Amino acid sequence: MLAERDAMIAERDAAIKERDMERAEREKLQSLYEHVHHLLHKANDRAYGAKSEQLEKLAPDQLQLALEDLEIENARKEAAEEKKQPSLPRIGVRKKRGSLPKHLPRIHRTVVPE
pLDDT digits (tens, 9 = 90+) for 17-36: 999 999 999 999 999 999 99
pLDDT digits (tens, 9 = 90+) for 56-109: 666 777 777 778 888 888 888 888 887 776 666 666 667 777 888 888 888 888
Name which of 61, 59, 81, 79 is nearest 71 in CA terms: 79
Rounded Cα–Cα distance for residues 40 and 4 (Å): 54
Residue 47 in this model has a pLDDT that exceeds 70: yes
3-class SS at 58? Answer: coil
- Every domain of the chain and the residues it spans: 6-49, 52-83
pTM: 0.36
Give Dmax over CA atoms of the chain in angstroms: 91
- Main-chain dihedrals φ then ψ at residue 91, nearest 5 degrees: -100, 135
> What is the pLDDT, as a whole number, of residue 87?
61
First to last CA, the chain: 85
